[in-house]
Structure formats: structure tokens, C-alpha cells
Amino acid sequence: MARTWDSFSEGDALPELIKTPGVSDLVKYSAGGGDFNPLHHDYAFPQAKAIGSIIVHGRFKYACLGELVSNWLDHGGRIENIACQYRGMDLPDQTMTCGGVVKRKWEEDGKKLAELELFVENSSGKNTTPGTARVVFK
């Protein structure tokens, strides 16, 4: 059901999205987005060898935060802004928990808005990808 303005409050948590991308999933993302940087699929690539592994695309994690917000919003509104920073590397076959919380809910110039704080937490509990999103409701 499309999310409505009346159905949430500041402080509410978004339902978490759990991802454990394997190499095949990263290859699928590369094909979908057009980023074929070998750092995300080729263990023999010099940068991957220096790091000790291939790594999950930052943009894959960004897209997962997009999916988290899209699932919560369920087309009841539009994302006006979504941002994140890649603070830590994530490795394939590790569980990433994507989540968020409603930081602020307000009306401005007749628009109904919400600000969300987002995260991708790795299996050690570290937030590797802090983010934010602003959504406007229909």
C-alpha cells in the first residue's frame, strides 16, 4: 500500500532490507548499471589484490538505500534527494543491513515532506554507508 503522510511519525524506523551480495549479484549489478570496474568482479585485478578482495560497488550500496526508501514509500511520494558516503569497504558474501529512521516530518509551501537518515551496517555493526533522503508526499 502506498505510504501516506498520516501513516508515520518522526522517530519511526524503516523496515530493514538485508542483502548478502555474492560475486554473481555484483556482476548483475555491473550489467544493470554499466559499471564494469574489475575491482567488483576480478580477484586478479591489481587493486583488488592490494586490498585482499574484490569489493561491493559503493553505487550498489547507494542503490540498496534507494530500494529501502522505495519499499517504504511504495510510490506514495517522490524522492527529491538521496545521498550517501562510502566510509568503509564491504566485501562479497557478507551480510549488509540497510535501514533508516524518520528524522523530520514537516510541511512547507504546501508540500508534505520527510527527511530520512539511512545506513548500511556490516556484520561487525559498523555503518559503512551513512546517508540521507528527502521525500515529498502526494
Partner 1 sequence: MAEEIVITEEMRALIGIESTPWAHEVTTTSVRAFARGVGYTDLVYYDVEAAQAAGYRSLPCPPTYLGTPIFIPGQSSETFSGPKEDGPTLEHGLPNLLDGGTETEYLADICAGDTLHVSSSIADLSIREGKSTGKMLIVTRETRCINQNGDLVARQRGQAIFY
Residues in contact with partner 1 by the rule CB under 8 A: 2, 19, 25, 28-39, 46-47, 50, 57-60, 62-67, 69-71, 74-75, 78-86
Strand partners, 96: 19
We find the least distance from the C-beta atom of residue 106 to partner 1, in angstroms, to be 18
Residue 71 C-alpha cell reads as 519499499
Residue 6 C-alpha cell reads as 498520516
Q: Which residue, 86 or 119, is less far from partner 1 as judged by CB?
A: 86
Q: Which residue, 8 or 38, is less far from partner 1 as judged by CB?
A: 38
Please report, in angstroms and rounded to a whole number, the separation of the first and last CA atoms in the chain: 13
Residue 32 C-alpha cell reads as 544493470
We find the least distance from the C-beta atom of residue 65 to partner 1, in angstroms, to be 8
Residue 105 C-alpha cell reads as 516530518
Secondary structure of residue 14 in the 3-state scheme: coil
**Residues 60 and 21 sit within 8 Å (Cβ to Cβ):** yes
**Residues 102 and 77 sit within 8 Å (Cβ to Cβ):** no
We find the least distance from the C-beta atom of residue 108 to partner 1, in angstroms, to be 16
We find the least distance from the C-beta atom of residue 46 to partner 1, in angstroms, to be 8
